A and B are shown apart, each in its own frame.
Chain A
Amino acid sequence: MPRSPFKIVTVAALSLVLAITGVIWYSHSAAASDAPYPPLHAHHFQISDTYVPGSPAIQPHLARSGSGSISGPAFTQDDVIAYLNRYGFFAGPVVSGAHMKILSVQFVTSKRASQLMNGESVGRPDNALVCYVKVQGPFSLANSHAGSFATSKPAPTTAEYGDAVFDAHTGNLLVWGVYFQ
């Protein structure tokens, strides 16, 4: 078989193309295996999955009992008041000229806190100890993820009252809300 410079160059070019192709193929395969698409609906709801830790908020500091378990709250009502006075309420700032009033701070069961929120879930078992707080604004809704649905009633931009629930042991925020009526 005769050999020419063109043939050598062509073979070299072809080898290069095949090598690049191989690298790309391998990279694509590796990426696919690193991030496979999981099946849809693979997870089934369990009520225990609703007991999420919540967001870190009030620092717990009260000592544990001798057994190491906590039966009472790990922070005080004054801690809650100090926290809200420092950071404000969760919905957003109070409207110009207004001042937030803290109407009540109560350590209650999760079930009772749900009742105080007119049936909103707390994300804790019924007998878990939590701290329920009620406040008055009015508050802007800058932090509210409220939808805007086409109805005859425009979406509110402020709310007069709000409330929140903290885990009584960790101090974490579990839920906050606002009321328009």
Chain B
Amino acid sequence: MLTKQPTDLHATGIPTILEDKYFCRLLVLGMILAVVVLGFSLDTSPIASASARIAQMPLTGYCNNPNPHCYATRDWYGHTGGSFTRIQPFGKLDCQGCVGFVDDEMWFADPYSSQCTSVGACWVEAGISTYALNNPNSCNHALASTCLFWADNRPGTGGYHEHPMFYFGSIGVNLSAYLVDETLYNSSSYSSSGSSWSISVAIYQNGNLIATPSGQSTSNSMNVDDIRIGSELSDSKGYADIFELEHNQFRDTGTGIYKYQTTTGTNTSTNPPPTGYWATSPCNCQGNTGGAYATYDH
């Protein structure tokens, strides 16, 4: 007879405490609880998640794009009246000894209309950037800084203009406590066509709204056909921790409602650095929140 009887347990030396059913239940419950909580904690901590990703990333060389500006970017093409992204930093942007900068931002562009192709493209953009020590445009003059800016490139003789918006701190300041919500949209209608565009920004620190700097791009006739998110680099000395561009949305031209992106868009990056990848891909599925596009420059 191979079936073990209760007496066999004693005979094999297994402690008698396992016969205590209440103790066994408590032991199992405690172990399950520990596993669940530990797993939950490690999986959902942004810092832990970011650290895990850093460990898996290969180092990259300097950008070899002949154009001195390099990109880790994703584009969604199609006419739209607005766009939204949330920039979530997991560290710093740094550019010690740079002439140029490294940034994370969103563009809202018209690369195809005839009045825009004659100037390359028309767009509105906003983002967080480093400003070198020798850059008189720094939002904290004579100090290398990290700032929020917006800019536009307009058709005809409009040219390119840039506006300082907010001072985060010196170059390399840790931005992990911040969230920066950016909305770029037609100021007067839901249409993709217009000449006045609003740049609405909400800056949160530790979850608290601390500033709402904004801008308005005027005399900028565009038929917007391109939303771009990502990082731009114009110096070989740039360094950036992981920054995620999350909750990516476009504005429906019919209803004015913002909808989550459901595709990963088009990769328009140059060779790294900077490097970009989908930490969470947008999908046409339940629970989609527009994905999280991560960039870094190590």
Q: Are A and B associated in one complex?
A: yes
Which of A36, A87, A142, A173 has the most CB atoms of chain B within a 10 A radius of its CB?
A: A142
Q: How far is the CA of A142 from the CA of B129 in the complex (A)?
A: 13
Residues of B contacting A119 in the complex (Cβ-Cβ under 8 angstroms): 154, 158, 218-220
Chain B residue at minimum C-beta to C-beta distance from A22 = B37
Question: Is the Cβ of A43 less than 8 Å from the Cβ of B15?
Answer: no
Given contacts A45-B214, A57-B136, A177-B162, are A21 and B15 in contact (CB under 8 A)? no
Asked if A145 contacts B127 (CB within 8 A), the reply is: yes
- Residue B222 is within 8 A (CB to CB) of chain A in the complex: no
Q: Which residues of B contact A175 (CB under 8 A)?
A: 161-163
Of the stretches A62-70, A73-81, A101-109, A152-160, the one at the interface is A152-160
Provide the main secondary structure of the chain A interface: loop
Q: Determine how close the nearest CB of chain B comes to the CB of A156; give it in whole angstroms.
A: 7
Given A10-B27, A28-B40, A57-B141, A49 contacting B213 (CB threshold 8 A)? yes
Q: B34 → chain A, closest Cβ, in Å?
A: 5
Instruction: State A156–B153 Cα separation when bound (angstroms).
Output: 12
Chain B contacts for A41, CB-based, 8 A: 84, 181, 183, 258
Query: Contacting chain A: which of B1-9, B51-59, B117-125, B276-284?
Result: B117-125
**B137 in contact with A145 (CB, 8 Å):** no
Most buried by B among A18, A93, A156: A18
Size category of the A interface is 35 or more
B137 contacts A176, C-beta separation under 8 Å: yes
In whole Å, how far is B189's beta carbon from the nearest beta carbon of chain A? Answer: 14
Q: Does A60 contact B (CB under 8 A)?
A: no
Query: Which residues, 11 to 39 on A, are CB-close (under 8 Å) to B?
Result: 14, 17-18, 20-21, 24-25, 27-28, 31, 34-38
Which B residues touch A150, using CB under 8 A? Answer: 111, 268
Q: Flag whether A178 is at the interface (Cβ < 8 A).
A: yes
Contacts A142-B99, A155-B120 given; does A148 touch B137 at CB 8 Å: no
Q: Are A118 and B156 in contact (CB-based, < 8 A)?
A: yes
Question: Are A90's CB and B119's CB within 8 A?
Answer: no
Pick the residue among B111, B136, B157, B217 that contacts A87 (CB under 8 A).
Answer: B136
A50 on the interface (CB 8 Å rule)? yes
Docked Cα-Cα span, A155 to B159, in Å, equals: 13
- Chain A residues within CB distance 8 Å of chain B: 1-2, 4, 6-7, 10, 14, 17-18, 20-21, 24-25, 27-28, 31, 34-38, 40-47, 49-50, 52, 54-57, 83, 87-90, 92-93, 114, 117-121, 123, 142-157, 159, 173-181
> Could you give 10 example pairs across A and B, Cβ below 8 Å?
A2-B17, A17-B30, A31-B45, A40-B86, A49-B212, A117-B159, A120-B159, A145-B103, A153-B120, A155-B67
> Which B residues contact A (CB, under 8 angstroms)?
15-17, 20, 23, 26-27, 30-31, 33-34, 37-38, 40-41, 44-45, 67-69, 71, 84, 86, 99-101, 103, 105, 107, 109, 111-112, 117-121, 123, 125, 127, 129, 131-132, 135-141, 147, 149, 151-154, 156-167, 177, 179, 181, 183, 187, 198, 200-202, 204, 206-207, 209, 212-220, 226, 228, 232, 234-235, 247, 249, 258, 268, 270
